[in-house]
Structure 1
Amino acid sequence: MYFKNQIYILFQKILSACNRFPISVLFSVLATLAFILANRLSFPTLEQHQLFIRLGMTFGLGVPISLSAQALCEKVQIKTNKVKTVIFSLLFLLLLSFLIFMLKEITMVTVTRYAALFLAFTLAFTFIPFFFKAPKFELYVIRLFTSFFITYLYSMILFMGVSALLLTINLLFSINISSKAYLDIWLIVVGVFAPAFFLADIPKNHQYLTVNDYPKVISVLLRYILTPLIAAYTLILYIYFGNILLARELPQGVVANLVLWYLMLSTAVLLAISPLKKTSKWTSMFKSYLPKLSLPLLVMMLVSLYIRISAYGFTERRYFALVAGLWLVGIMLYHIFSSRKRGIVIPISLAVIAILSVIGPWSAYSTSISSQNTRFERLLTEHDMLKNGEIQPQKELSVEDRYELSSIIIYFNSNHDLSKLSYLPDGFSLLRDTKDVFGFELQRSRHDHFRQRREYFRIHLSEDELIDINQYQHFGHFTLNIHASSELKLGDFLVTANDKKSELYIYKNEDVIYSKDIGSIAKEIYNQHEGTEVLSLTKMTYSDKNQNTDIKLVFKNIYGFKDEENNSIKVESMEFYIFFSFR
């Protein structure tokens, strides 16, 4: 009977979500279906596979947009089906336009634009019901967050349970269940059941929410865990801030990311604890002092970003970081100087900024393209590589200058299109034409220049011969590289090999009785047999003697490179056997 009641409640929740948000549930189902088809079907081309991914993304974007539209209809109390039909028909046209014009392919630009729009409409769904009156907005958001977290926690448990059942069946009955089935189950659980359960729990009469409805678990998490951690993190950043001021140093580039994510979380916590500010002195102090303490840290972050942008220009990552930093400055100033402190300002302002940052001539993409083109032209002009609007090859460039020019070319090739980079000849190919046009090979890192001028070699000992050790009393095995040196002891005797000097020493009572530069021997072997990887025992053997000892060295492996610029040879590592006897 209990199980039957639970099934009934389950279907009632699904029906409730479908009745209130039918278009949103439909979009969620269509998105899930598109992703399942992309997972299941075999496609002859990547474009056909990406078509289903793009359809899934488009239907997925339709979920928050349709939720926002439904929230607007409820807010202004639109009940006639004709008006709703017009609104949702326009929504379908909007999504179709997005698929055709803004999601032609899956690239960095389309994915980040998609993420920004998804975020903006998700935020819109939360604040539309409170657009003109927002006394209980924070409680409503906490209710949504709690329902979302619980729903997807249950979904994760459901997925793991069903996956365990399939795995058990597969093991016990030798049924070949495709690994794709697990992804299908995950998509169905996350894309169909979870949204339906979550939407069924969204309150209609949010005006009845009170502080007593605040979840105890969230309250404890915020007051006793998150806020103390944020306070400790703030202290650490201030200590670092003090150190760089005393040392008169500029902040490191990593500071921007550390401060940005910390303050984004802090802003969310400020919003969440607003209903609790009167429940304890600590939460009241936290809400009052954190915005003031955040401003110097934001200034430090913006200075760090300014240094990077001045040196290397705008990229989408730096643009988004700068916009987010300026938004945080505005939010913190609002919390400091506003007497009303309406929490709804946070999602409204963030949604507007998210949309503006990815659409229009001021967007991250347009700004970054313009900035990198300006930087590219400046570098070409500085090195006399630009004449009559055409690039002139220049071989005498420093490693840093080659890398800077290469990084701009790689940026356009990876994130946009080479046709958007000024001065490149028509039909320019990254791999084919870089050296002819610029006079040097493309450098993907600051170390590429050194790798490009080096010809690496390796020499191995042929292992099909026996070593004659008849006249020798002792044997040792040495491996030398940049990380290791070796030594062997025998009574009063000590044998050492040091890679830094590439020398072999034999000591008796701390007196050197034999020494040899083994690096020069390895180089001589390479010079005599350049281009050969496997050498015979005779060619890999060096014999020597003095008044104290007889020596035989048999090289097993030699690794190194030849610098083509100055024709020098560097042995990076070697492995050899030593046979010796004392006189």
Structure 2
Amino acid sequence: MKKLRETMRFILDKLKRSGERFPLTLAMTFLLMIVTIVLVHLDYNSQQQDLYQKLALTLALGLPMTGAGKLLIERYKIDGIKKYGVHVSAVVLTLLYFLTIPEVMTPYFAMRYMALWAILFMAFLVVPYFYEREGLSRYILHLVGRFFLTVLYAGVIMGGVSMIIFSIDQLFGVHWWDEIYMDAFILIAGAFGVTYFLGSIPEMGSELPTEGFSKVFKGLFLYILLPILSVYTVILYAYFVKVLFNFKLPDGVIGNLVLWYALVSIITLFFVRDLRIEVPWLSKFFKIYIPLMSIPLVMLFISLFIRINGFGITMPRYFVVTLAVFSSVTAALMWLVKKDTAVISMILLITFIAIAFFGPLSGYSLTLTSQTHQLERLLIANEMLSSDGQLKPNAEISKESQSDISEKITFLIDAYAVDQIKVLPEGFSGDNAKQYLGFDLLYYWNRNQSVFERFNYFTKMQTELIALDGADYMLNVRQYDVLEKTLLTKGLSIEKNLEELTIKENDVTLLTVDLSSSAAAFYLDQNQPQIITSEDQSVKLKLVYTNIDGQITSDQAPTKVDDLKVEYYDVRILIDLIP
């Protein structure tokens, strides 16, 4: 019982410290919780969904921003009006980001958002040790341990709360709303998880001695990862000897193998460097191991040069080069500089991420330039580009050349707007490529249809009661279900193929419903049930769709059934036989 009280007191102390130390960050957290819960409860086709998504992204960015601001104040003992200036700046910069979020959030926007969040979080980690203060690697490892402890505590709380909710539901017949478990997760992750983690951040100026290095991490890095990396280094050298004897340059597989080897090596060396005094053999290991890393890294750069020279820059290749350069520079710093290089390494990482995702040297920009140049070279080689840069159709080129050109163009128009690709004329698309090239793009299918031109509807109340309104039957069907001829009454039958539902009387068709068109009408009618009656008024159907998914085929907001292509639906059909 004493241990339990101590644990509870320890947790409550962390929560209290967090509230006193990071009030602005916690305010952002609670706002994020509210916005996320509202977002979870919104209908899938709600017009407010985009607004709440943008608010959630903005507030999530505010967590490391305001946290870093608070630590900056503590690190440099900023007081008075300057202190409030830092807080206001953090909030204003966060709110200004809201204005930069585009209407259509492309995959590349998502990548840049994650990169920006990572930069701010790494700044949050570095600020307490900036500048000329040692021990950053121990500090980060301490926070890693606290993070996993926070996840453990939050997981136990979530499990207990879920069990309570489920038990009340089963024992007392309390029918909770469908999103209750997600709501509980958001509340626990925000109110407890973030608060407890912030309360675990060491006070400014406190030192973390090497003696406090977790035995778990110490065993992981020193006695598991370092031996594995040493064996892996021997394997790589054996492979390079094989390459020398075969007179064959390394193929593409070496890129992934060496890159992961280099990254794991850098991370391991980053965290164990402070243990060199406590573990005497570690200094010798650094002196030997880091120079041995140079040969695999050189072979990695050779492999990358071959790929880029032959096929140009792509985003994955760009990021591999960036990580390889970062690993090489960081390893050289660890070997050459005797002082702690953790802060410099983190600043380098932040710089590389910023360059890779933002500005003219970003992977996105350089990939466009490189692949456009590759396409231009192919077009010139096949006499399809005039001296003034105009495309000339040429249907006589070989299938191999058509394939190469199609591959380049398809890659570019999938990732970039046509007006960004200087060799393609305005109005060019995958569908009208033959007009400009003399041949259709090979292997092209609906690539101009982006994921943001889709629509969907999904009811959150799958278990709700449906009023039968005097109906005689209720039928649940999905788009791909097939219902063979089934008697409703003597002489009256119902059947469904993949597209249509048909009701017949003595093999005479009374009513036929195109369920895909009906689903589109349901979606356009703001999810209102579709009522369909046979011409002789003997059969009435009420169609309530619970799930619809498909594509928007028009360039503007859909207003009629033909503007929607339904690819899937779930529908409940109430069948009323009128005497």
Give the TM-score normalised by the residue count of structure 1.
Answer: 0.70
Equivalent position of 1:33 in the other structure = 34
- Aligned partners of 1:264, 1:174: CA distance in 2, in Å? 53
Distance 1:247 1:158, change over 3 A: farther
Q: Identity rate of aligned residues, in percent? A: 29
Equivalent position SS for 2:203: coil
The residue aligned with 2:52 is: 52
CA RMSD of aligned residues (A): 2.7
1:346-365: CA deviation from partner (whole Å, max 9, x where unpaired): 11111122112222222222
User: Counterparts in 2 of 1:13-24, with a 5 A limit?
Assistant: 13-24=14-25
CA contact under 8 A between 1:222 and 1:269: conserved in structure 2?
A: yes
Residue 181 of structure 1 and its aligned partner are, at CA, apart by 3.2
Kindly indicate whether residue 416 of structure 2 is the aligned counterpart of residue 416 of structure 1. Answer: yes
**2:235 matched residue in structure 1:** 236
1:395 partnered with 2:395: yes
Asked if the contact 1:255/1:304 (under 8 Å) is kept, the reply is yes
Whether 2:218 is the aligned partner of 1:219: answer yes
Partner of 1:97: 96
Structure 2 residue 65 is matched with structure 1 residue 61:
no
Counterpart residue identity of residue 297, structure 1: P
Q: Tell me if structure 2 keeps the 8 A contact 1:277–1:287.
A: no
Q: Distance in 1 between matches of 2:127 and 2:203?
A: 13
- 1:390 shift after superposition: 2.5
**Deviation at 1:96?**
3.0
Q: Residues 390 and 336 (structure 1 numbering): CA distance in 2 closer, same or farther, change over 3 Å?
A: same
Q: In 2, distance between residues paired with 1:248 and 1:179?
A: 64
- Compared with structure 1, are the counterparts of its residues 261 and 25 closer, same or farther at alpha carbon in structure 2 (3 Å cutoff)? farther
Aligned in 2, Cα 1:8/1:210: closer, same or farther, shift over 3 Å? Answer: closer
2:380 aligned partner: 381
Q: Distance in 2 between matches of 1:226 and 1:12?
A: 35
- Matches of 1:329 and 1:335 in 2, distance apart? 10
Q: Which residue pairs with 2:341 in the alignment?
A: 342
Listed as ranges, the gaps of 5+ residues in structure 1 are: 446-583
Taking structure 1 as reference, are residues 103 and 350 closer, same or farther at Cα in structure 2, changes over 3 Å only? Answer: farther
- Bigger shift: residues 204-213 or 167-176: 167-176
Any idea what SS the aligned residue of 2:442 has?
A: coil
Report the CA distance between 1:437 and its aligned residue. 2.5
Deviation for aligned residue 1:171? 5.5
Mapping 1:183-332, distance limit 5 Å: 183-332=182-331
Rg larger in structure? 1
Q: For residues 74-85 of structure 1, what are the structure 2 equivalents within 5 Å?
A: 74-80=74-80, 82-85=81-84
- In 2, distance between residues paired with 1:153 and 1:170? 26
Shift in Å, 1:320: 1.7
Which residue of structure 1 lines up, in the alignment, with residue 428 of structure 2?
A: 428
Q: Kindly state the Cα deviation for residue 65 of structure 1 after the two structures are TM-superposed.
A: 1.8
| Separation (CA, whole Å) in 1 of partners of 2:160 and 2:225 | 31
Aligned position for 2:148? 149
Equivalent residues of 2:262, 2:293 under 8 A apart: yes
Deviations 1:354-383 (A, max 9, x none): 112222222222212222221221111111
The DSSP-based 3-state class of the residue aligned with 1:346 is helix
Q: Which moved more, 1:135-144 or 1:266-275?
A: 135-144
The whole-number CA distance in structure 2 between the counterparts of 1:256 and 1:172 is 58
The aligned residue for residue 70 of structure 2 is 70
Contact 1:67 1:125 in 2 (8 A): yes
Compute the displacement of 1:433 (Å).
1.0
Residues 257 and 385 (structure 1), Cα distance of their counterparts in 2 relative to 1, 3 Å cut: same
Closer, same or farther: CA 10–370 of 1 in aligned 2, 3 Å = same
- Could you list the per-position Cα deviations for residues 380-433 of structure 1 after superposition, in whole angstroms to 9, with x for gaps in the alignment? 111111134332233334444333323333333333322211232323332x21
SS of the aligned residue for 2:342 comes to coil
Q: CA deviation at 1:115?
A: 1.9
Shift of 1:198: 0.8
- Pair 323,7 (structure 1): closer, same or farther in 2 beyond 3 Å: same
Contact 2:18 2:195 in 1 (8 A): yes
2: CA distance between counterparts of 1:172 and 1:236? Answer: 60
Aligned-partner Cα distance in 1 for 2:409–2:383? 18
SS class of match (1:273):
helix
Query: Structure 1 residues 411 and 161, CA, compared in 2 at 3 Å: closer, same or farther?
Result: farther
Checking the alignment, whether the CA contact within 8 Å between 2:258 and 2:297 is kept in structure 1 is yes
Shift of 1:128: 1.6
Evaluate the alpha carbon distance shift between residue 439 and residue 353 of structure 1 in structure 2; reply closer, same or farther with a 3 A threshold: same
Question: Over residues 239-287 of structure 1, what are the superposed CA-to-partner deviations in whole Å (9 max), with x where a residue is unaligned?
Answer: 2222222222222223222222221121111111112223334433433
**Counterpart Cα distance in 2 of 1:238 and 1:261:** 16
Q: Is the 8 A contact 1:155 1:190 kept in 2?
A: yes
User: Could you say which residue in structure 2 is the equivalent of 1:467?
Assistant: none
With 253-262 and 297-306 compared, the bigger mean Cα shift is at 253-262
2:76 corresponds to which letter in structure 1? V
One-letter amino acid of the counterpart of residue 244, structure 1: V
* Matches of 1:98 and 1:32, distance apart in 2: 19
Structure-1 separation of matches of 2:372 and 2:378 = 10
Rounded Cα–Cα distance in structure 1 between residues aligned with 2:176 and 2:403? 50
Cα drift, residue 215 of structure 1: 1.2
Structure 1 residue 305: Cα displacement? 1.4
The 2-side partners of 1:154 and 1:95 are apart by 30
Contact 1:227–1:286 under 8 Å retained in 2: no
Per-residue CA deviation, residues 33-59 of structure 1 (Å, 9 max, x unaligned), is: 3333332201436x8534433322221
Preserved contact between residue 66 and residue 91 of structure 2 (Cα < 8 Å): no
For 1:284, give the aligned amino acid.
S
Q: Contact (CA 8 Å) 2:126, 2:136: kept in 1 or not?
A: yes
Contact 2:312/2:370 (CA < 8 Å) preserved in 1? yes
Give the total of aligned pairs. Answer: 444
The aligned amino acid for 2:27 is: L
Q: Deviation digits for residues 165-189 of structure 1, max 9, x if unmatched?
A: 4455555666655654333333333
